[in-house]
Amino acid sequence: MQFGVSTFLWKSPFTTESFDLIHKIKGFGFDIIEVAVEKQELIDWARLKELVNETGLQVTISGAFGAERDISNYDPLIRAQGLKYITDCIKIAHNIGSPIFGGPVYSAVGKTRFINKEQKKRERDWCIENLVKIGKIADDYGIIIGVEPLNRFETDMINTVDQAMLLVREVASPNIKIQLDTFHCNIEEKNIPDTIRKIGKDMICHIQANESDRGTPGTGNVDWIGIKEALDEIGYEKAIVIETFGEVSEEIARAASIWRPLANSSDELAIDGLAFYKKLFS
């Protein structure tokens, strides 16, 4: 098992000026830095690749899906922007050596409405149409797309793993799988270990192992022992990543409803979270 942490824990957006985090994350003992791509033009990707190679860190790439990056939007211009953003992130992942690009690729975070069945179907059709294109692009670049279910307060499209699996099967691309976030699962799933078993080793591509309050892993009510047992049972050996939020932008705060500090400091959350991971998964 490899352990990682998201740049979201310290910076939003992550930029070239944030590159001191690379040495910090390596010094804490993590294997992976998960780079959240909010504003790709603010990151010197060539220099980032040099630094992670120097430190020996691996990289995973995650998305930030604001309203203008919504592949299921009624506005075709916004759908096109969403497709371009995901395509750009696939290329970034390929160039920097990330095996995956993950997130709620199907819609915009914070898009929560009560809509009729006809509108739901239209949006789903647009989503599937674009995901089929994305699957082909991901295949060209050797990248896996992780479809991440979000809780009901952050999206009205894909809340549960059952919904995500149905979407992935409809798209029918070997390069589109499921990314699991235990924070969202703790709200939406009946039993997280059983959910992991249901997805299985072949369909689960990435795990963000977050606590019930998005705070330090091991300090809340997530069933960590059951999760470990289920991951052992299916033979999962990929990344386990802390993805929570420290210094948040206004957009992230609204989308994820982060209104208070989640730990005494981002550094403390990272250090204690990694110690918990190592003890749990040893």
Per-residue model confidence as pLDDT tens digits over 57-72: 999 999 999 999 999 9
Q: What percent of the chain has pLDDT over 70?
A: 99
What percentage of residues in the chain have a pLDDT greater than 90? Answer: 93
Q: Which amino acid is at 175?
A: N
- For residues 232-259, give the mean pLDDT: 85
pLDDT of residue 142: 98
Q: Is the predicted pLDDT of residue 248 greater than 70, yes or no?
A: no
User: Which of 195-204, 245-254, 258-267 is most confident?
Assistant: 195-204
**CATH number for 271:** 3.20.20.150
Kindly tell me the burial class for residue 169, based on how many C-beta atoms sit within 10 Å of its own C-beta (0-12, 13-18, 19 or more).
exposed
Residue type, 96: I
Domain of residue 191 covers 2-281
pLDDT at 220: 97
pLDDT of residue 263: 85
pLDDT at 252 over 80: no
Of the pLDDT bands very low, low, confident and very high (cuts 50, 70, 90), residue 7 is very high
Q: Is 123 a catalytic residue?
A: no
CA separation for the pair 234, 103 (Å, rounded): 22
Query: What confidence score (pLDDT) does residue 250 get?
Result: 73
pLDDT in tens, 85-144: 999 999 999 999 999 999 999 999 999 999 999 999 999 999 999 999 999 999 999 999
pLDDT at position 57 is 98
pLDDT of residue 182: 98
pLDDT for residue 259: 76
More confident residue, 266 or 257: 266
C-alpha triplet 8, 98, 104: angle, nearest 5°: 55
- Tell me which residue has tokens 């299916």: 234
Q: For the residues 27-45, what does the mean pLDDT come to?
A: 98
Work out the pLDDT band at 227, boundaries 50, 70, 90: very high
Whole-number Å distance between alpha carbons of 183 and 167? 21
User: One of 34, 123, 154, 243 is an active-site residue; which one?
Assistant: 243
Model confidence at 272: pLDDT above 70: yes
Q: Judge whether 148 counts as a catalytic residue.
A: yes
Looking at the structure of the chain, the number of domains it has is 1
Indicate the helix (H) or strand (E) that contains 101. Answer: strand 100-103
Q: Which residue in the list 123, 148, 154, 189 is annotated as catalytic?
A: 148
pLDDT, mean of residues 207-231: 97
